Amino acid sequence: MKLDLEEQMGGGSAQSSHILVFPFPVQGHMNPMVQFAKRLVSKGQRVTIVTTISSSKSLPTLNPTSFGSNLRMEFISDGSEQVKGGSETIEESIERFRIATTKSLTSLMTKIRNSSDASQYPLKFVVYHSGMPWILDVARRQGIDGAPFFTTSLAVATVFHHVHEGTLKLPLEEPRAIMPSMPPLELNDLPTFVSDVESYPAFLKLAMNQYSNLKKVNCIFFSSFDKLEKELLKWMESQDWPVKMIGPTIPSTFLDKRLEDDKDYGLSLFKPNVETCMKWLDSKKPGSVVYASFGSLADLSIEQTEELACGLRNSSFNFLWVVRESEQDKLPENFVEEISGKGLVVSWCAQLQVLAHKAVGCFLTHCGWNSTLEALSLGVPMVVLPHWADQPTNAKFVEDVWKVGVRVNVNKKSGLATKEEIAVCIKEVMDKEKGMKFRKASLMWKELAKEAVDEGGSSDKNIEEFVAKVLLI
């Protein structure tokens, strides 16, 4: 059954509450939380997505005609107006963000409370990115409740949980980590903040911070789904973690198709070259194209970019490669001219439309959690080349748990994934016979992903239960 968001909202009944959703203003963190917001609206709630004034310049506001007037946006100060030059450390910027958002979010709550329709849509709840645990106190001081939203897999959150609890000691004493309900993780399977503590002390501190008040929350949201991380979910529940899997958090058009006009995330920090990509893909045979992208943040070395360029050029397949504008001067000279016809380089694309295109046969990815979930949900096998943060753990699961692709080996000496290795991995996944097992497994996960968010699916039920609880607050 299709859910028309406008119809669902029906003028503010007693069945509605107002929920704030506050993501970090980074593309990979906004996408899943915006999708969660849309699902809450489809269940009759009013949702305001809160983001920062500083990110507003690059963010088009949500189009109200496509998502209905109950999905709103507010911009609050994160204090960055007062920062002179790029002089802050990561820790200083988080502290400034904490102080400023505590104040500006409190003011926003007061404004919402005093608005003319506050009685029709009483403010009841804040869903905040797990990296902002202080928002729980902000909410509770206002007499409402809050819950964190993790934009990583449950597996990654579990690794950090063990570090936080001291059941995984750092620096690691063994070359592999053994944790309950988890495959053994080698050093290069662990999040880099854990495997390389010296290089990322501020990020490890940030990751640990997510756990500082988790024992006080009634609910923890994950952009994942029950069947994808079944064993871990069972284990976390046995530890009394109130985990609620509500994903995959990707636009409904690519999954259950129940939300009208939900074709993209609706907020983009980059401008996609949609027409160029689609036209080019239309001209290619089914399953003949490797789609390569390393997300919105990865900063590859010149050497790695060159290996990738040669690996893609030397493989026998067509390729569409997203190289962000800031990365393009790392490409080998004349590369774009040399590959014309066989390859296309763009600065950004509509990734979901690309992954859904029949010409695409595999996704060469850095394994950001959104990209991983998108490929799983659209049934596209992967060649994975993780860069940092949670990506190595996602890559491990792609290869060894979900079995939907292969991981490119990195040369121990140079730290590079060589062009030869990249081409071999692409061939393995794209090959008609050898690649069959990956395609089969991918199609299975695609079905399960859709089932989770479809009517009565595990994520759909979790969202409905949450809404029912919020209405009782």
- List contacts with ligand UDP (CB under 6 A): 27-28, 31, 272, 293, 295-297, 322, 348-349, 351-352, 368-371, 374
Q: How far is the CB of 318 from ligand UDP (least distance, A)?
A: 17
Nearer to ligand UDP, 272 or 457 (CB): 272
CB 13 within 8 A of CB 471: no
Q: How far is the CB of 352 from ligand UDP (least distance, A)?
A: 6
Nearer to ligand UDP, 79 or 272 (CB): 272
CB neighbour burial string for 266-296, b if at least 16 within 10 angstroms, e if fewer? bbbbeebbeeebbebbeebeeebbbbbbbbb
What tokens appear for 59 in the block?
Answer: 């963010």
What tokens appear for 322 in the block?
Answer: 């997203």
What tokens appear for 154 in the block?
Answer: 């449950």
Nearer to ligand UDP, 193 or 348 (CB): 348
What tokens appear for 270 in the block?
Answer: 């980059």
> How far, in Å, are 217, 226, 252, 258, 378 from residue 245 at the CA level?
15, 6, 16, 19, 19
Alpha carbon of residue 49 to chain centroid:
16
Q: How far is the CB of 472 from ligand UDP (least distance, A)?
A: 33
Q: How far is the CB of 239 from ligand UDP (least distance, A)?
A: 26
Q: How far is the CB of 292 from ligand UDP (least distance, A)?
A: 10
Residue 38: name the closest of 68, 83, 59 by CA: 68
Nearer to ligand UDP, 293 or 315 (CB): 293
Q: How far is the CB of 443 from ligand UDP (least distance, A)?
A: 20
Q: Which helix (H) or strand (E) element contains residue 146?
A: strand 145-150
Residues whose CB is less than 8 angstroms from the CB of residue 338 and which lie 6 or more positions away in sequence, other chains included = 313
Strand partners, 146: 126
What tokens appear for 343 in the block?
Answer: 């390859």
Q: How far is the CB of 277 from ligand UDP (least distance, A)?
A: 9
CB 383 within 8 A of CB 289: no
Nearer to ligand UDP, 102 or 273 (CB): 273
Nearer to ligand UDP, 121 or 254 (CB): 254
Nearer to ligand UDP, 188 or 371 (CB): 371
